[in-house]
Structure 1
C-alpha cells in the first residue's frame, strides 16, 4: 500500500493554493465544497475563481508567491502553477514549516494525492492508483458508478438521523451492528426513494427480535481469489470471526470483513477448539481451508447444521 487512505475534515480549516489557472479551479472547487477556508495566491486568476472570490467563497492574494505568505495555520498547501521551478520552491518552503503539500501532477513532490471520487451524498468512494494510471482509475470509477444505486445518499442520511434513537433501543454496539446489517439487506430499503419508506422499515424491524444464531461457513481457497463465488465473498463480509489455515494466501484473508477477528490454526485439533468456542459465543464464522485438503472432512461432517460455501 503506497498511500494511507484517509478522509480529511477540512471544514473551517485554512488551505493555501498557489496558482490561479485551470488546475487551481478544479482544486479550489473541491476544497470549497469540503468547507475549507481557501486562500489563493496568484497575480491573476481564472474567471471562475474570481466569481468565488466575489461570493466570499475564498480569498485572493493578488500577488506573486512569496515564502512569507506561508504560515502554520495552513493544513494543506497546493502548488498548481505551470512553472515547475516555482512549484518546487513552494514544496521546499512548505516542507521547512512541516506543512502537507501537493504539487499537482508531480508525484515525487506530493505528501498526499487526491483520489478519483464517487459521491452519493454522505457516501464517498475513493479510487486511486497512486498516480500510476489515471485512465485505469477512470475506468474503474465508471464501472462503480453504474453499480452503486443513487439512493445511497438517502440511506446514509436516514441512518445518521437514527444514531440517537437506536442507541436507546439497542444499548450495545454489537446488537446495533447486526440490526443495521438486517436493515440494509431488506429489499424495500435497497430501492427506497423516500425517508418515509425507510422509517416504515425501521419501525417494523426495530420491534422484531433478532433470532440470528451463529453459523460456520467453510470456504476453500486455491491460487486465484477471483474464483471465489459471490456467495462466498458475501459471507466473508458478514463474518465476525475468520479462521484460516497457516498456508492461506494473504489475499484471501484480506478479502474478509475489516473488523472481523482473524486467527490462524495449525491443525485440526486447534481448529476444533476454536470452532467450539465460536459456537458457544454464537458467532458467524468463516473457515478458510485448502482446496485439495481432506483432513478437515470430519470436522465439516460434524457440523451438519452449518452451511458449506465453496467455489
Structure 2
C-alpha cells in the first residue's frame, strides 16, 4: 500500500495554495467545498480565482513564493508549472512537517487526491497512487453507473435514525441486521423522498425478524471474475467465512470486510459449521474448484444448502 486512504476534515483549517493557474482552480474548488480557509500565493491569478478572491472566498497574496510563507498552515498545495519551485516548496514544508501535495508529482507528496464520487455524505474515492490516472477515471465512470443517485437521501435519513433505532434494538448486531434488511427493500432502493423512507422504516420496525442461521457454499476457481452475481451477493451478506487451509486469497477478500474469517480442515469443518449456525450466523464456505472437502455433500443436505458453482 503506497498511500493510506483517509478522509480529512478541513473545515476552517488554514490551507496554503501556491500557484494561480488552471491546476490551482481545480484544487481550490475542491478545498472550498470541504470548507477550508484558503490563502493563495501567486504573482498572477486565473480569472476564476480572481473572482473567488473578489468575493472573499479566498485570500490572495500577490507575490512570488518565499520559504517563510508556509508558517502557520495546516496543509500546502504546490500547483505551479515550475518543477524546481514545487520541489523547493516540498523541501520547505517537509522541514516543518506540514502535509504537502505537489500536484502530479507523487514522489513529492505526503498525500494525494483520489478520483471522487460525491453523494454527500457518502463519498467514494479511487486512486492508483498516481500510476494510471486514466484507468482510475475509467473505474470511477463504471462506479458512477452502479451507485444510485438517492444515496445522499438514504445516508442522511438513516443517520438521523441512530438514536431512534437504539430504542428498538439493544445490540449492535440487531441494529446491523435491521439496516441490512432495510436497505435491501425495493421501496427503499427506489425512494425519492424522506416520506417514502419513513413508511418503509415504520413497517420494518413493526415486522419481527425471523431470520436464522444459513449456510452458503461458494465454489471458487482461479479467476474471481468467474464468480456469479449470486455468489458475490451471498459472500457480501455472510457474517462468517470459512476458507480452506492455505487459501486465504482474493476470494476471502471479496467477502464482507467485517465478517469473521476461519480456516477450515476436512477434520473440523462439520463442527465449525454446526457451532456457527447455532449462533444464527450467515456462514459462507469457500470451496476451491475440484477440491471440495470430504463430507461437504452431507453438510449441505443437513442444512438445506447447495454448492453455487463458479462460471467456466
Interval containing the TM-score (normalised by the shorter chain): over 0.9
8 Å contact from structure 2 (residues 300, 306) kept in 1 = no
Q: What pairs with 1:66-215 in structure 2 (closer than 5 Å)?
A: 66-71=66-71, 73-215=72-214
The answer to whether residue 23 in structure 2 is matched with residue 20 in structure 1 is: no
In structure 1, the residue matched to 2:281 is 283
Q: Unaligned 5+ residue runs, structure 2? A: none
SS at match of 1:26: helix
For 1:262, the equivalent position in structure 2 comes to: 261
Q: Secondary structure at the match of 1:201?
A: helix
Partner of 1:56: 56
Q: Identify if the C-alpha distance between structure 1 residues 249 and 280 changes in structure 2 by more than 3 Å, giving closer, same or farther.
A: closer
Cα offset, 1:306, TM superposition: 3.3
Tell me which residue corresponds to 1:226: 225
Work out whether 1:36 is the aligned partner of 2:29.
no
1:242 partner SS: strand
Decide whether the 8 Å contact of 2:270 with 2:299 is kept in 1.
no
Q: CA deviation at 1:81?
A: 0.3
TM-score normalised by the chain length of structure 1 = 0.95
Corresponding residue number in structure 1 for 2:45 = 45
SS in 2 for 1:268: coil
Partner of 1:240: 239
- In 2, Cα distance between the equivalents of 1:307 and 1:211? 22
Q: Which moved more, 1:145-154 or 1:296-305?
A: 296-305
Q: Secondary structure at the match of 1:125?
A: strand
User: Secondary structure of 1:175's match?
Assistant: helix
Kindly tell me: are residues 127 and 193 of structure 1, through their superposed partners in 2, closer, same or farther at Cα, counting changes over 3 Å? same
C-alpha separation between the residues in 2 aligned to 1:108 and 1:255?
31
Shift of 1:300: 2.8
Q: CA RMSD in A?
A: 1.5
Are 1:250 and 2:227 counterparts? no
User: Structure 1 307/39 Cα, relative in aligned 2: closer, same or farther at 3 Å?
Assistant: farther
> Aligned in 2, Cα 1:222/1:247: closer, same or farther, shift over 3 Å?
farther
Alignment partners' CA distance in 2, 1:217 and 1:160: 31
Q: Would you say how many aligned residue pairs link Structure 1 and Structure 2? A: 309
| Deviation of 1:171 (Å) | 2.1
TM-score (norm 2): 0.94
TM-aligned CA deviation for residue 103 of structure 1: 0.6
1:157/1:307 Cα in 2 relative to 1: closer, same or farther (>3 Å)?
Answer: farther
Unaligned runs of 5+ in 1: none
CA distance change for structure 1 residues 146 and 281 in 2, over 3 Å: closer, same or farther? same
